């Protein structure tokens, strides 16, 4: 089969002939129809994620996909041959940018009937990251005021809708290019980040989901209530990231404690909790997202789809940082 192989950090992924995988016990063999692109894919390619996920190179790259279950290994009960499925694959094993992939059945969900493969491939990573940040870290509830920086991108377009579904009032940042989109997804208030700094936004929020980092993250600490949480997907990982998200040992915990010192200090000064979430793959959470899509409560915003052999162009587009929603490649 053909797959995009990352053979060395800093080098482009190459389309190569690689062995077709075989479903082991508890695994599903998926004929891939589409794969979503994410910033983690090019950061991994560039070696920027080495501290968090040290991949066993060479590896078939790609973090999320949709397709049809072609075979199941022994003991599989959640998925049947012929099911249309989507998944955020294991972060160490990867393999979505290929014609076939094997995935642990516990990471897989049946894709919503109302979606085509390209749309379904855009759900897993961004959707799960948004859900887990809002539900597990911010514990968003009816009536909360939630601030989401970077609402127009892959994660933000899910986060706005999920926060609204949880009953929150949502403020988000976007440029004029993304304003109409974020409003259409339910944002109650839009801050034009090209004109106003986050630090100058009137405060009192019950929680912040930061998808931008840098100056925005620093500004976030001043706009939430004391005792509230700023969860970032972009800033510096901290000790809980190592322990809870990565199951790592003492060495990484200490390293993350050191590199997050500045953000934790800023948070402390405002009486706020700082948390860097590294999302986790979960078939159960993905089923919840699929149900919301099926019920018409969650839309998938696709910016552009590319052909499989145009993945370099797809990455060039994603890496501009201007995508509105998700970027996906179709696998022939
Ligand atoms: N920790 C985790 O588990 C995890 C999981 C998923 C994603 N992430 C991270 O989360 C971040 C967001 O991911 P994504 O997939 O949503 O990225 P993305 O799709 O590439 O985001 C692009 C969008 O961001 C907007 N944007 C750019 N600069 C902005 C700013 N200063 N303020 C507000 N909006 C801005 C752009 O709008 P304009 O073009 O209109 O400016 C564009 O629509 C990335 O850094 C990614 O690595 C982390």
Distance 221 CA to ligand 1 centre (A): 19
Residue 241 to residue 89: CA distance in whole angstroms:
19
Q: Which atom of ligand 1 has the smallest separation from the CA of 276?
A: 1
Rg (C-alpha) for the chain, rounded Å, is 19
In short, whether 324's Cβ falls inside 6 Å of ligand 1 is: yes
Looking from the CA of residue 155, the nearest atom of ligand 1 is 16
Report whether residue 234 contacts ligand 1, using a CB cutoff of 6 Å: yes
In this structure, which residue's CA is closest to atom 34 in ligand 1?
A: 150
Tens digit of pLDDT at every position of the chain (332 positions): 999 999 999 999 999 999 999 999 999 999 999 999 999 999 999 999 987 888 999 999 999 999 999 999 999 999 999 999 999 999 999 999 999 999 999 999 999 999 999 999 999 999 999 999 999 999 999 999 999 999 999 999 999 999 999 999 999 999 999 999 999 999 999 999 999 999 999 999 999 999 999 999 999 999 999 999 999 999 999 999 999 999 999 999 999 999 999 999 999 999 999 999 999 999 999 999 999 999 999 999 999 999 999 999 999 999 999 999 999 999 99
194 in contact with ligand 1, CB cutoff 6 A: no
- Residues 6 or more apart whose Cβ sits within 8 Å of residue 250: none
| Ligand 1 mutation pick, 89, 148, 153, max ligand atoms within 8 A of CB | 153
CA–chain centroid gap for 112, Å, is 18
Question: C-alpha distances in angstroms, 11 versus 2, 8, 45, 102, 329?
Answer: 18, 6, 7, 25, 20
**Could you write out the DSSP letters of every residue in 242-261?**
IIIIT---HHHHHHHHHHTH
Please calculate the CA angle 173-165-300 and round it to the nearest 5 degrees: 70
**134: CA distance to ligand 1 center in Å?**
16
For the CA of 38, the closest atom of ligand 1 is 15
Helix axes 283-294, 154-165, angle to 10 degrees: 70
Taking the CA of residue 149 as reference, the ligand 1 atom at the shortest distance is 33
């Amino acid at each position: 089969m053909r797959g995009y192989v990352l053979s060395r950090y800093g080098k482009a992924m190459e389309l190569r002939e690689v062995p077709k995988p075989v479903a082991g016990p508890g695994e599903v063999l998926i004929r891939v129809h589409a794969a979503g692109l994410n910033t983690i894919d090019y950061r991994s390619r560039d070696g920027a994620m080495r501290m968090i996920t040290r991949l066993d190179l060479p590896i078939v790259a790609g973090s999320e996909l949709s397709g049809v279950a072609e075979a199941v290994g022994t003991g599989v009960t959640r998925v049947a041959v012929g099911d249309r499925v989507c998944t955020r694959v294991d972060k160490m094993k990867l393999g979505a940018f290929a014609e076939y992939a094997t995935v642990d059945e516990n990471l897989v969900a049946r894709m919503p009937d109302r979606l085509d493969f390209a749309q379904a491939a855009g759900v897993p990573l961004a959707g799960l990251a948004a859900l887990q940040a809002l539900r597990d870290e911010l514990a968003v509830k009816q009536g909360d005021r939630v601030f989401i920086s970077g609402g127009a991108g892959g994660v933000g377009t899910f986060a706005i809708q999920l926060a609204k579904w949880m009953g929150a009032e949502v403020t988000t940042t976007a440029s004029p290019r993304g304003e109409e989109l974020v409003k259409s997804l339910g944002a109650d208030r839009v801050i034009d980040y090209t004109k106003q700094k986050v630090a100058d936004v009137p405060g009192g929020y019950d929680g912040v989901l930061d998808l931008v980092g840098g100056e925005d993250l620093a500004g976030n600490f001043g706009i939430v209530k004391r005792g509230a949480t700023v969860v970032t997907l972009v800033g510096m990982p901290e000790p809980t990231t190592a322990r809870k998200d990565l199951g790592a040992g003492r060495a990484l915990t200490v390293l993350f404690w050191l590199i997050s010192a500045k953000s934790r200090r800023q948070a402390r000064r405002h009486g706020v909790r700082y948390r860097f979430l590294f999302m986790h793959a979960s078939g159960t959470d993905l089923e919840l997202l699929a149900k919301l899509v099926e019920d018409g409560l969650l839309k998938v915003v696709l910016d552009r789809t590319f052909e499989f052999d145009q993945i370099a162009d797809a990455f060039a587009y994603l890496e501009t940082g201007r995508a509105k929603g998700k970027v996906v490649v179709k696998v022939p």
